Amino acid sequence: MKLQQWARSIAEKRELYYQVPTEDLPWDIRKFHPEAFPTAFVVEGNGPGKKLLVIMWGGRVKHQGLVIGDQDYKGIPAEGPEMTMWIAGVYFFLGSE
């Protein structure tokens, strides 16, 4: 999938907690939620050297987004929002503070 390939290339090239500039996000991601600008950043994955890209819309109280990793990534957070698998390695989440 193109989104997963794009996200993996960002995560592999960048350091942890790198925030992707909004203008570097694919147009489909930027226009997905017209009332909220997306925020995307690189986080630690579940394994040595593994990194994920998280794309979020919303604010501190209510937010949703995607967690994108390798096809073998299992979206099982220790604590936090419930995650639903979209395709292998890509999860949708809906969270609240």
pLDDT value for 95? 77
Summarize pLDDT for 33-69 with one digit per residue, the tens. Answer: 877 889 999 999 888 889 999 999 987 677 889 999 9
* 6-10, 66-70, 91-95: least confidently modelled range: 91-95
Whether the CB-CB separation of 42 and 53 falls below 8 Å is answered with yes
Q: Looking at residue 76, what is its pLDDT? A: 67
Among candidate residues 54, 1, 41, 7, the one with its CA nearest the CA of residue 26: 7
Burial track 23-32 (b if 16+ CB lie within 10 A, e otherwise): eebeeebeee
pLDDT score for 13: 95
> Average pLDDT in the 3-15 region?
94
Residue 23, SS3?
helix
**Which H or E run contains 11?**
helix 2-13
